[in-house]
Amino acid sequence: MPHSLLLICRIYLLFTIASPLWALSVEDISKATASLDHARLLAADEEPGNWLSHGRTYQEQRYSLLDQINDKNVADLGLAWYFDVEGNRGLEASPIVIDGVMFSTGVWSVVYAHDALTGELLWQYDPKVPRHWGKMACCDVVNRGVAVWKGKVFSATLDGRLIALDARNGNKLWETMTLDHPLDPKYPYTITGAPRVIKGKVIIGNGGADFGVRGYLSAYDANSGEQLWRFYTVPGDPEKGFESEAIARAAKTWNGQWWEYGGGGTVWDSMVYDPELNLLYFGTGNGSPWNRDIRSPGGGDNLYISSIVAINPDNGKYVWHFQEVPQENFDYTATQHIIIADIELGGELKKVLLHAPKNGFFFVIDRLSGKLLSAEPYVEVNWASHYDLQTGRPVETPKASYQKNGASLIKPSSMGAHNWQPMAYNPDTGLVYIPAMESSFLYDAQDQDSYRHEPGHWNLGVKELQTPPGDQLFGKVLAKKISSGHLSAWDPVLQKERWRVQYQDPWNGGVLTTAGNLVFQGTFDGRFIAYRADTGEHLWKMPVQTSVMAPPVTFTVKGEQYITVLVGRGGAYGLGSGTEFVSIPKHSRILTFKLGGDINLPPIAIEDEYADPPPRLDVSAEVVMQGEKLFHTYCYGCHGFNVVSNKAVPDLRRLPRHFHDAFKNIVYDGDLSALGMVGFSDVLSEAEVEAIHAYIIERAHEDKAAREQSPWWLALKTKVYAFFADILIWLMSYY
């Protein structure tokens, strides 16, 4: 062979070996996403290798037809690739995967596009959410994902913007503000939910009911961002008129001057579209404030809070509603995942909605009419005895009226029997898999005359979060006693549980089920697990080093099946529960698995974050108690119950000395607002800030003392505390 030809061959081989066997180009991404339209979404089952929309199909069953990974071989599952996202806070997104391209979101509404085969980052878009607006997020600076349509990626930001990005490169195509009063603390709206696209309309709601806003759902033109319609979920000020007949009718179910408190009813998560009936169903949030006597003195059902509402997506016109909790009183939102299914009831095939909301009852609802077909508790419930199928209303117990009958320990708690983490429905087994929780909360009404509405802060109308007596170890033991979680395989026809997997902690991840007779779920304690869908048999698990909240998705690339889940600790319980979690990696992650995957996660580097606390402040015990109350009114949502942090945000018990020296400047003056730690001078005096500081320092000293205790003494105290916790729970059950 001539020398020149040999050289050419060697160069060719070098580049062939060095280049990847699979590489996505801009043209590949364009081809994959440009054709994603209404017809393709309607026919999503014809391409099961893709995950085209939030719940895979418009029905949002989170059931995949893929069975390459199945109950016979899932034990061979391993990690194929991982990607560290920015930050170490909660991840909740469902990725969209189209022909090998994956789109997902992280904290602060950042959007990512990845090569789904290799994990290579294709592009990233940061909408630059102002960090101070994180204070308005009741439940962390999370985001649940994007929607894709005709070459565009749609994402909603924490501060209320809806953004269209070019799917090829992440360049912004248009941006529209969905809020009437952007970044106005008097109107503390946030968006954490994923948009949906229906026939060229991008649909998005918002959150903020705990702070005092009026809920609504809006549609925007996918090409221009122009608002096309808006459906308000609760009435506004009657003197300004009502936007529709539906809202005028709803106003008759309210009393007092509810509009001054916002009303609530925010549409912050669940939406599902029925193309056969051309109906969009969505769940609405709690009343604002929670306390119905303050919100609507004199009674009334307070439509359309805690309801499922059906509207025409073409124009936003009301069709029907079903209110799950009339005059809601407990933060029992109906925003949890809604599933469309056809099931046989009484020998007749019914078109239904399946719903397991916060209130603890599993609902089967006729999706043509909104009629309640059945409702049974899927966890222990004591606020209502049952639902009257003739009226469709719950029969409340005396505990429900805590304003009249005094403080009541109510089940489920405001955290709910099921929160935002999606459930799944497998038509092969006929079961719904629910990430369920058992929890209690002591509801104690704030006096109506003493209630003070504070714009931009929690406005619940119930007394501040009650803290248990004793030291923080007792608080931890008690928390473990009154809250736990489980995966429930629920039969929606018989309204009974078929099998259950019990977990020590609540706040476990969303669910995926497949034709391979599998159910996948991540856990709060950092495991990703596969079960047999028909029996619940444990088949496989992998430790993932941090909590899992997000639901998994599955797809194929080049004929091979993969499973992806986002991992990262956060959300309402993850931040505020007061549960320590030391094994948090430097970054939250996207994890992708396949059969035979052999990638290992890097070892966890646990840094010594302990700092000796400063001397206790020279204040009275009463001031420390005042600080405890104020902390659990304004601070615990981010910094944790009893000042026990999950380390996604600073652990205030272990602050370096210079933070204590600057405490007033930070907490009162807001010197760190640009980093997300805003000042509280609008609601706290300097003396009250000092009281909070005194309480935090007290907790810091308790924490140091606990760390210095011998293991045997700590174990003995834990057993003793467990005994007294059982007695306290028994006594509280009589409230």
197-211: pLDDT as tens digits:
999 999 999 999 999
Give 469's pLDDT tier (boundaries 50, 70, 90): low
Q: Is residue 9's pLDDT more than 60? A: no
Weakest-pLDDT range from 516-520, 585-589, 610-614, 728-732: 728-732
Give 581's pLDDT tier (boundaries 50, 70, 90): low
Give 12's pLDDT tier (boundaries 50, 70, 90): very low
> Residue 312: which residues within 8 A CB-CB, separation 6 or more?
278, 279, 280, 319
What's the average model confidence in pLDDT over 514-533? 97
Q: How confident is the model at residue 651, as a pLDDT?
A: 85
Q: Is residue 21's pLDDT more than 60? A: no
Q: Rounded to 5 degrees, what are φ and ψ at 49? A: -75, -5
Active-site residue list: 331
The percent of residues above 70 in pLDDT, for the chain, comes to: 94
Helix (H, G, I), strand (E, B) or coil at 135: helix
Q: How far apart are the C-alpha atoms of 444 and 358, rounded to whole Å?
A: 19
Q: How confident is the model at residue 16, as a pLDDT?
A: 34
Contact 402, 444 (CB under 8 A): yes
Token pair of 26 as six digits = 């801009």
Helix (H, G, I), strand (E, B) or coil at 704: helix
Q: Hey, how many other C-beta atoms are within 10 angstroms of the C-beta on 118? A: 18
Alpha helix (H) residue ranges in 234-351: 245-251, 292-295
Q: Is residue 7's pLDDT more than 70? A: no
Give 664's pLDDT tier (boundaries 50, 70, 90): very high
Give 727's pLDDT tier (boundaries 50, 70, 90): confident
Any idea what DSSP says for residue 417? S
Q: How confident is the model at residue 519, as a pLDDT?
A: 98
Q: Is residue 3's pLDDT more than 50? A: no
- Omega into 412 within 30° of 0, i.e. cis? yes
Which amino acid would we find at residue 699? R
Q: How confident is the model at residue 31, as a pLDDT?
A: 81
Which amino acid would we find at residue 177? M
Half-sphere exposure of 571 (CA within 13 A, CB side): 24
What's the average model confidence in pLDDT over 714-721? 79
Instruction: Please return the burial class of 243, using the count of CB atoms within 10 Å of its CB with bins 0-12, 13-18 and 19+.
Output: middle
Token pair of 617 as six digits = 């402040």
What's the average model confidence in pLDDT over 341-368? 97
**Average pLDDT of the chain to the nearest whole number:** 91
Higher pLDDT, 652 or 175: 175
Weakest-pLDDT range from 42-51, 147-156, 389-398, 721-730: 721-730
Give 473's pLDDT tier (boundaries 50, 70, 90): confident
The β-bridge relationship of strands 511-514 and 63-64 is parallel
Instruction: Please return the burial class of 230, using the count of CB atoms within 10 Å of its CB with bins 0-12, 13-18 and 19+.
Output: middle
Q: Is residue 53's pLDDT more than 50? A: yes
Q: Specify the length of the chain in residues.
A: 735
Contact 378, 356 (CB under 8 A): yes
Alpha helix (H) residue ranges in 577-685: 621-634, 636-639, 657-661, 663-667
Which amino acid would we find at residue 33? T
Higher pLDDT, 270 or 4: 270
Q: How confident is the model at residue 19, as a pLDDT?
A: 35
Token pair of 13 as six digits = 């081989």
What's the average model confidence in pLDDT over 482-498? 96
Q: Is residue 647's pLDDT more than 90? A: no
What is the sign, positive or negative, of the torsion defined by CA atoms of 685, 691, 694, 696?
negative
Q: How far apart are the C-alpha atoms of 688 and 668, rounded to whole Å?
A: 9
Q: How confident is the model at residue 468, as a pLDDT?
A: 63
What's the average model confidence in pLDDT over 109-116? 97
Q: How confident is the model at residue 164, as a pLDDT?
A: 98
Sheet holding 201-204, edge to edge: 196-198, 201-204, 216-221, 227-232
What's the average model confidence in pLDDT over 540-567? 97
**How far out from the chain centre does Cα 718 lie?**
31
Q: Which of 438, 524, 441 is nearest to 488 (CA)?
A: 438
Half-sphere exposure of 732 (CA within 13 A, CB side): 21
Radius of gyration of the chain (CA): 26
Give 605's pLDDT tier (boundaries 50, 70, 90): confident
What is the sign, positive or negative, of the torsion defined by CA atoms of 214, 215, 219, 222?
positive
**How far out from the chain centre does Cα 204 lie?**
16
- Taking phi over 0 as left and psi of -120 to 50 as alpha, with beta for the rest, 596 belongs to left
Q: How confident is the model at residue 617, as a pLDDT?
A: 94
Token pair of 543 as six digits = 């430790």
Q: How far apart are the C-alpha atoms of 204 and 220, rounded to whole Å?
A: 8
Higher pLDDT, 647 or 641: 641
Q: How far apart are the C-alpha atoms of 114 and 104, rounded to whole Å?
A: 8
Q: How confident is the model at residue 583, as a pLDDT?
A: 62
Looking at the DSSP assignment, which residues form a beta bridge with residue 163?
155, 175
Q: How far apart are the C-alpha atoms of 397 and 233, rounded to whole Å?
A: 27
Q: How confident is the model at residue 611, as a pLDDT?
A: 80
Helix axes of 472-482 and 711-732: crossing angle, nearest 10 degrees: 50
What's the average model confidence in pLDDT over 458-477? 75
Instruction: Please return the burial class of 78, using the count of CB atoms within 10 Å of its CB with bins 0-12, 13-18 and 19+.
Output: middle
The percent of residues above 90 in pLDDT, for the chain, comes to: 75
Give 711's pLDDT tier (boundaries 50, 70, 90): confident
Contact 324, 306 (CB under 8 A): yes
Q: Is residue 269's pLDDT more than 80? A: yes
Higher pLDDT, 148 or 24: 148
Q: How far apart are the C-alpha atoms of 506 and 202, rounded to whole Å?
A: 33
Q: Which of 409, 426, 245 is nearest to 339 (CA)?
A: 426
Helix (H, G, I), strand (E, B) or coil at 467: coil
Any idea what DSSP says for residue 250? H
- Taking phi over 0 as left and psi of -120 to 50 as alpha, with beta for the rest, 170 belongs to left
What's the average model confidence in pLDDT over 635-644? 86
